[in-house]
A and B are shown apart, each in its own frame.
Chain A
Amino acid sequence: MLDLIDALQSVADGVLFGATYALLGIGFTLIFGVMHKINLSYAAASIGAAYASLLLLAGVKAPPVLVFLMAAACGGVIGALVYFVAFRFIPLANPLATLMSTVGLLLLIDEIVVHATAGVPLNYPALFSDVVIRAGAFNLRGDLMFVFALGCVAMVLLWALLYRTRLGIATRAVSQQPVAAQLCGISIDGVNILTFVITGVLGGLAGAMTGAAIGVLSPLLSLPLTVKGLIVTVIGGLGSIPGAIVAGLLVGGIENVVQFFRGVSERDLYVMMLLFAFLVFRPGGLFAPAAGRD
């Protein structure tokens, strides 16, 4: 009985942390939706943004909220930089060219972080880490709840932007029909930059949320987060934002419960098997879109 409660507890913790995976998945999926390209440097840039927020605010004793906002802002700036370095001047017709340039950026960002911090993990501030909400037999950690809430707010804002403003409608128009979008007066370049800034902000938040949930930032985080982000994107279905959200929470929950039963060394094994199952049985992802690009 105690086992069951503990197992459910670990699922709950995992789902709460899964909000970070969901944000990363949204980032990958949005860029793919608009440009039909994978940006492999995305998770590294997210961790980089979290680092940048720490380093920029190192002198002042900034409250954690400010650090989080700073991470989001840095994420946006880094996103725009990534676009100009790895996409703007690279021939888009060649599918491998931008993929390789983003791999290069992934390594570069990691190296910059290692050199700037001598590779030593840094403590990352958390909010409400001393708060524990008791719900029956469960304990919900305050810091994880905050991370989850922050992720939800970011997703709701993104939804409002994409579905309720003309800017967002224009972005979706470009992803559906780029030629016609240009001839409706939309600058493809403008929409691309915007997409990288928005995904960068989401990534910066995800980086900060990861740091807050784990308590430290380490350059070792970027590779596993890249893999998790891609897994979430594939399970959710490339280009599907609701898919990325559900897949993010799903992967978060599953990896935590696997860790509970089988230990940390087998955790990623089962996540990979889940990915394998999806690639075989549902390659289009959770909600394979009825219509692709029209």
Chain B
Amino acid sequence: MLELRRLTKYFGGVRAVDGVDLTVAEGEILGLIGPNGSGKSTIINLICGLFPLTDGEVVFRGTDISTLPPHERVALGIARTFQNIRLFGQLTVWQNLWVAQKARGQGRGFLRGWLGGSRHDRVAIDKTLDFFDLGHKRDELAGNLAFGEQRRLEFARAFAAKPSLLLLDEPAAGMNAEEIDQLDARIRQLRREGVTIVLIEHHVELVMSVTDRIAVLNFGQKIAEGTPAEIQTNPLVREAYLGTQTAA
């Protein structure tokens, strides 16, 4: 479904991502792990088109989307969450989803799409809010939510864009054990509904439990790829982590 070919991004002299080849199959959950600064978030940013590639290609469903602007990639079905929460703080919870929902509304009339939206759309938003346990907060300003609720809203907003590929950038950061369990359940539920997911996460148990396959990055390069069991015993991975995270 998604194919990264020799994906490369330099920031000045820093090789943030250095020739990464990676394939994500339809319907799978791929974990993307690696020490801090290994290029995980940069890869997500490149898939979304937030900055231009230095070299390589991003291929989605067989077409090269490397030069498409971000909003057109969303229209193709790629949505994401942010590691540092980026909600529309002065809009209500409901409006945050309403904005995102337009993303795949091509072919609908201008009035339908931009002025009001159909009844069907509104029901869909309420259902999404309930799924993310935010129904009771629908009319609150997003900026006033508690941290855990903001994380859920990030996730909900990305899902509201009706993605076929969902990129989750550290969704568990700052969450307690109970919230992580709920997150785990939601990710599995989305997969059952046919959403393909790329998960960046430092929380090892979550990654090992929920993913089908894991790719490991270090210094902008892919150093390993395989099932969670294979990755756990891979000596290169242990070295990469032990070299940078002594207290992990």
Contact = CB atoms under 8 A, between A and B. Distances in A.
21 contacts: A166-B116, A167-B115, A169-B95, A170-B99, A172-B88, A172-B90, A176-B88, A176-B90, A177-B89, A182-B50, A182-B71, A183-B50, A183-B71, A184-B71, A185-B100, A185-B102, A187-B69, A187-B71, A188-B71, A291-B90, A294-B88
B119 to A, nearest CB: 14
- Identify the interface centre among A166, A182, A184, A186: most chain B CB within 10 Å of its CB: A184
B97 to A, nearest CB: 9
Interface residues of B, number: 31
A179 B87 CA distance: 10
A181 B99 contact: yes
Interface stretch (B78-86, B179-187, B195-203, B234-242): B78-86
Nearest to A188: B71
Contacts of B16: none
B102 A166 contact: yes
Interface of A: 165-167, 169-170, 172-173, 176-177, 179-188, 291, 294
A180 B88 contact: yes
Contact of B115 (A166, A172, A177, A294): A166
A284 to B, nearest CB: 16
Contacts of A188: 71
Contacts of B88: 172-173, 176-177, 180-181, 294
Contact of A180 (B75, B87, B117): B87
Interface in B43-92: 48, 50, 69-71, 74-75, 79-80, 82, 86-91
A187 B161 CA distance: 14
Contact of B113 (A166, A181, A182, A183): A166
A53 B86 CA distance: 43
Contacts of B157: 184
Nearest to A166: B114
A165 B116 contact: yes
A182 B69 contact: yes
Given A165-B116, A166-B113, A166-B117, A173 B99 contact: yes
Contacts of B19: none
A294 B102 contact: no
A172 B89 CA distance: 10
Given A169-B99, A170-B102, A183-B50, 5 more contacts: A167-B115, A177-B87, A184-B74, A185-B102, A186-B103
Contacts of A167: 114-115
Contacts of A169: 91, 95, 98-99
Given A184-B100, A185-B75, A179 B114 contact: no
Contact of A183 (B48, B95, B116, B117): B48
Contacts of B75: 185
A188 B49 CA distance: 14
A184 B69 CA distance: 12
B247 to A, nearest CB: 32
